[in-house]
Amino acid sequence: MDHARRVNIIPQNFENVLLTINRIKGVKDSLVAGLDGIPIGKIDRESSVLSASTVAALGAVRELTKTVSYGDLEQLIVETDYGKIIIEEFGTEHVIIILTEINANIGMIRVMLKKAVRDFTNNK
């Protein structure tokens, strides 16, 4: 493993992926962050906190699935009384974070998200 690797490569056209995702009904906002917990694109306090805590949560949940030998983590969905937060790996060094409305069609969002990420990965 290359421990020294700095996650500072910005994926090309990530804005297009976010635009596609933000058009999905029920999506409030979305963000791409590096696995170093630093947001890609606009860096403000809210996006920084969201990125750092998301990546930490992913790390903790990965540890959970590893500890109980329950496969590889594919997607993390957090449910709150405001809506849902969907977290999915985006390429090998980034994650995409999606905030949804409470009554969003989560199935549709997940399918569209998978497609957007797949299209991005294939077109790199």
Partner 1 sequence: MEQISKDSLKIVVFGALNAGKTTFVERLSGQELFLKGEYESITTSFDFVQIKQQDYLIHLFASPGHRRFSFMWETLATGMDGAILLLDSTVGVTPVDHELIDFIEQYGVPYIIAANKDDIFKMDPEFIRKELKLSDNILIGNTSALNDDNLDNLLDKLIDDINKRNNK
The residues of the shown chain that bind partner 1, judged by CB under 8 A, are 3-12, 34-38, 43, 45, 48-49, 52-53, 55-56, 58-60, 63
Choose between 38 and 106: whose C-beta lies nearer to partner 1: 38
Q: What span, in angstroms and rounded, lies between the C-alpha atoms of 115 and 102?
A: 22
Question: For residues 20 and 48, which CB has a smaller minimum distance to partner 1 in the complex?
Answer: 48
CA dihedral 81, 82, 83, 85 (to 10 degrees): -100
Which residue lies nearer to partner 1 by CB, 50 or 117? 50
Nearest approach, Cβ of 113 to partner 1 (angstroms)?
Answer: 22
Shortest separation between residue 95's beta carbon and partner 1, angstroms: 11
Buried b (16+ CB within 10 A) or exposed e, 59-86: eeeeeeeeeeeeeebeebeeeeeebbbb
